[in-house]
């Protein structure tokens, strides 16, 4: 426009030629004369509409978002932006914020975004409720340090290693035995990229996997039972007792489940030779310190992922087949986090 005006210095004629109003051409030329040709290419910033929501009203809205919706008489646990906007429209004018009488959901989202508040979301954390957390964590790390020492000693020498077995143990309850009500449809190249599965399903109940990993060999010892009470835990201890020579000390890393410290469990342990079993308990809310949790995660993402069975018996057989497959190619799990501190 500026170059054309240089050739034809007429606002009206140039406007007709470019299909613009002559005042548009005039304003562009005036901006170029006042601020320079480059500044004339863009519109000058304008003040825009005066904000109608006061800072006090915004602060009240943000404070409201930091409460739970149920604290204001709603059945909802948390706010939704739509509910928050409705509440602000209804209650804002009554507390002196008339500017919120016509508040809409989009404006609520903008205000919360500016303050980096997301009242409709929950981020979980894990509170330390064990007064002896550090001490118990150090005990677990010392066991992992012992595993590291035994591995290095075995690698340097051909002599038999210390007669000890260190097992990381836990239970994985609530594994669902779910059956399909119609056959799965296989993928077809160029037609269907994935398996197709009917939405309906049938429940056959749940099972519990009791498993422990030998941290020196990588072997997984496992039982699958309907429940995981003291009797099932004792059954697992008997499995370990039969798996290792009588001279081997079996050290278990496990949590504080009631079955692990029950009267029945203590009574059975009393029947074993002194030093046969030694328990090291993880602190409360410290199950992440147990290496077997990583195994459960991997097992759930591979063997148990999308699994469908016709009965609980089939589920048990497939879980045990999965354990056997793991033991054919054992993985020796290692722990490194804060291990240097457990000297």
To which H or E segment does residue 137 belong? helix 133-156
pLDDT higher than 60, residue 195: yes
Task: Report angle CA 154, 210, 136 to the nearest 5 degrees.
Answer: 65
Q: Whole-angstrom Cα distance, residue 271 to residue 179?
A: 43
H helix or E strand, kind and range, residue 111 = helix 105-114
Distance CA 264, CA 294 (A): 29
Burial 19-58 (b: 16+ CB within 10 A, else e): eeeeeebeebbebbeeeeeeebeeeeeeeeeeeebeeebb
Q: Give the per-residue pLDDT at 105.
A: 94
pLDDT in tens, 22-77: 888 888 887 777 777 777 666 667 677 777 899 999 999 999 999 999 999 999 99
What tokens were used for 250? 């079996």
How far apart (Å, rounded) are the C-alpha atoms in residues 322 and 116?
A: 46
- The answer to whether 152 touches 283, Cβ cutoff 8 Å, is no
pLDDT over 90 at 269, yes or no? yes
Q: How many CB atoms lie within 10 A of CB 14?
A: 21
Residue-level pLDDT at 243: 94
Nearest to 6 by CA among 29, 39, 40: 29
pLDDT at position 296 over 70 = yes
pLDDT tens across 66-122, in order? 999 999 999 999 999 999 999 999 999 999 999 999 999 999 999 999 999 999 999
pLDDT band with cut points at 50, 70 and 90 for residue 342: low
Short-list 139, 147, 140, CA closest to 166: 147
Token reading at 318: 């497939």
What's the confidence (pLDDT) of residue 40?
Answer: 66
Residue 16: per-residue pLDDT: 81
CA end-to-end span of the chain:
78
pLDDT of residue 43: 67
What is the rounded radius of gyration, in angstroms, for the C-alpha atoms of the chain?
Answer: 35
pLDDT at 49 (0 to 100): 73
pLDDT at 44: 67
Q: Quick one: pLDDT at residue 129? A: 81
Q: What percentage of the chain reaches a pLDDT higher than 70? A: 95
Query: Are the CB atoms for 185 and 195 separated by under 8 Å?
Result: yes
Joined together, the tokens standing for residue 20 give 């613009």
More confident residue, 310 or 24: 310
Structure tokens at 23: 């005042």
Return the higher-pLDDT residue of 193 and 11. 193
H or E element that contains 153 = helix 133-156
Could you tell me the two tokens for 120? 């409709």
Cα 216 from chain centroid (whole Å): 29
Q: What is the pLDDT of residue 321?
A: 96
CA 206 centroid distance within chain: 23
How far is the C-alpha of 121 from the C-alpha of 104, rounded, in Å? 20
pLDDT in tens, 162-183: 688 999 999 999 999 999 999 9
Residue 251: per-residue pLDDT? 95
Residue 161 has pLDDT above 80, yes or no: no
Question: What is the per-residue pLDDT for 130?
Answer: 83
Average pLDDT of the segment spanning 179-201: 92
Task: Report CA dihedral (111, 112, 113, 118) to the nearest 10 degrees.
Answer: -170
Band of residue 13 on the pLDDT scale cut at 50, 70, 90: confident
Q: What percent of the chain has pLDDT over 90?
A: 67
Burial 266-278 (b: 16+ CB within 10 A, else e): eebeeeeeeebbe
Ranking 104-118, 154-168, 239-253 by mean pLDDT, the lowest is 154-168
- What count of residues does the chain have? 343
Given this model, what pLDDT does residue 200 score?
Answer: 94
């Amino acid at each position: 426009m500026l170059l054309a005006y240089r050739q034809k210095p007429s606002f009206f004629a140039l406007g007709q030629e470019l299909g613009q109003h002559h005042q548009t051409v005039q304003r562009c030329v005036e901006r170029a004369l006042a601020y320079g040709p480059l500044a004339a290419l863009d519109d000058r910033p304008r003040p825009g509409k005066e904000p109608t929501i006061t800072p006090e009203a915004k602060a009240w809205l943000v404070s409201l978002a930091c409460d739970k919706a149920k604290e204001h008489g709603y059945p909802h646990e948390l706010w939704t932006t739509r509910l928050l906007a409705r509440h602000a429209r209804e209650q804002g004018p009554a507390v002196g914020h008339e500017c919120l009488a016509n508040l809409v959901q989009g404006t609520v989202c903008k205000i919360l975004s500016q303050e980096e508040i997301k009242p409709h979301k929950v981020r979980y954390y894990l509170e330390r409720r064990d007064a002896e957390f550090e001490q118990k964590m150090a005990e677990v790390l010392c066991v992992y340090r012992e595993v590291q020492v035994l591995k290095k000693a075995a690698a340097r020498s051909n002599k038999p290693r210390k007669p000890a077995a260190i097992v990381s143990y836990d239970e994985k309850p609530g594994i669902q035995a779910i059956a399909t009500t119609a056959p799965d449809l296989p993928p077809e190249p160029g037609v269907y990229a994935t398996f197709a599965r009917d939405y309906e399903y049938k429940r056959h109940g749940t099972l519990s996997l009791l498993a422990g990993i030998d941290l020196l060999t990588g072997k997984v010892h496992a039982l699958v039972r309907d429940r995981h009470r003291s009797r099932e835990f004792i059954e697992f201890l008997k499995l370990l007792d039969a798996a290792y020579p009588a001279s081997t000390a079996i050290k278990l890393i496990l949590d504080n489940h009631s079955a692990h410290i029950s009267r029945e469990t203590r009574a059975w342990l009393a029947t074993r030779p002194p030093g046969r079993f030694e328990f090291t308990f993880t602190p409360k809310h410290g199950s992440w310190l147990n290496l077997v949790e990583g195994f459960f995660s991997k097992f759930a993402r591979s063997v148990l992922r999308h699994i469908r069975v016709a009965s609980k018996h089939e589920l048990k057989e497939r879980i045990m087949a999965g354990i056997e497959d793991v033991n054919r190619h054992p993985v020796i799990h290692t722990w490194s986090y804060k291990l240097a501190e457990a000297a």
